[in-house]
Amino acid sequence: MESHLGRYEIGEELGRGEMGVVYKGYDPLIDRYVAIKTIDLQKLSEKEKEEFKARFYQEAKAAGRLNHPNIITIHDLGRKGDIAYIAMELMEELDLQDIIADKQQPSIGEKLDIAFQVAEGLAYAHEHGIVHRDIKPSNIMVLRGRHVKVADFGIARMESALWRTQSDKIIGSPLYMSPEQILSHPITPRSDIFSFGILLYQMLTGKLPFDGDNANSVWYKIVNEDPPKPSSVNAEIPEMLDRVVARCLAKKPEDRYPNANELARDLHACRVQMSPANAAEGGDYFEGGRNADADKISKAQLIWIIALTALISIGVYILVDEYVIDRIQD
């Protein structure tokens, strides 16, 4: 590998995928470390390289304009010979795959906190015309304090263009594809919502809703079969979450959530309803860096406040009434 790509010094390898390698890089101009994702173009003809270059810059620029707390920031992009690269915010914390595989599982409330933030990031990207196309655990980074960032917006579409020029191969992680991705139908934000539903199901139950011995068997189930309710796998999951997951995993896009904002609102509602139980587990629902439930009053607390206010009012009324009577008698 080159020692430099553009102005970036290339360091250790962080990961490897279908299309290239991710390295830790250093930007001496700004004095910061970044993640450098490379895409190898060696197998393409010169014409195909030019076509890919146009798509690469178009998609990367669009993704680079996304500025949201739950989306990893793209800093720069470029090309050196047959290597296209993207410089992005370096995340050295756990990805969601590590958390799912960990024996020490977060509470359901904490998992909802993570899911809510993913939905918030998706909603922002969709509002700006970007569909992720490859939502999966390894693209969800979880930082300290359970702060979540979604990675690789726009990159799946770049890679799909590259694969189509080579072999018409379907791009995306087979276990997390939507029916329309498998059937080569038009892709909309609701495709991301389906993939998110698979991710949420796996987070809640520890199991994938659609599994099989090979990609074809998984794809058949995604297109044709409904999975068991999450609560049938994990009895701690409330029925309201069954309904959220089922709506995400509807086979027809029009039967899913119309947008990720509505999905995020339902996840928020589930978390608020579960907050008394999850408070004992230490789970926190947070929005914008604060505990959003801290400002909310439960029904029991509200009834107590109303009753106490009424008693105080009655007491004051009696005292005033007695005082007035005494004054009259005097």
Among 93-102, 103-112, 130-139, 286-295, the minimum mean pLDDT is found in: 286-295
Report the pLDDT value the prediction gives residue 281, as an integer from 0 to 100: 41
Among 114-123, 207-216, 280-289, 301-310, the minimum mean pLDDT is found in: 280-289
Distance CA 178, CA 191 (A): 6
Distance CA 289, CA 295 (A): 14
Provide DSSP, 79-110: EETTEEEEEEE---SEEHHHHHH-SSPPPHHH
More confident call, 96 vs 62: 96
2-15: burial string, b at 16+ Cβ within 10 Å, e else = eeebeebebeeebe
Distance CA 297, CA 111 (A): 23
Domain boundaries defined on the chain: 4-290, 297-330
CATH fold of 4-290 reads Transferase(Phosphotransferase); domain 1 (1.10.510)
CA angle 25, 36, 129 (to 5 degrees): 140
DSSP state of 201: H
Q: Among 74, 69, 159, which residue's Cα sits nearest to residue 118?
A: 69
Distance CA 166, CA 52 (A): 11
Q: What is the pTM of this model?
A: 0.76
Q: How far is CA 197 from the centre of its chain?
A: 10
Write out the E strands in the chain. Answer: 4-5, 8-16, 21-27, 32-40, 74-80, 83-89, 94-95, 140-142, 148-150, 286-287, 290-291
Report the pLDDT value the prediction gives residue 25, as an integer from 0 to 100: 95
Q: For 87, phi and psi rounded to 5 degrees?
A: -100, 125
Average pLDDT of every residue of the chain = 81
Strands 32-40 and 74-80: unpaired
Mean pLDDT of 200-206: 95
Contacts of 89 (CB under 8 A, 6+ apart): 34, 35, 72, 73, 74, 75, 149
Q: What confidence tens digit (pLDDT) does each residue in 223-255 have? A: 999 999 999 999 999 999 999 999 999 999 999
What is the percent of the chain with per-residue pLDDT over 70, rounded to a whole number?
Answer: 76
Mean pLDDT of 282-306: 44
The catalytic residue positions are 134
Q: What confidence tens digit (pLDDT) does each residue in 27-77 have? A: 999 999 999 988 888 877 787 777 777 777 777 777 788 899 999 998 998
- CA diameter of the chain: 109
Position 132 pLDDT exceeds 80: yes
Position 84 pLDDT exceeds 80: yes
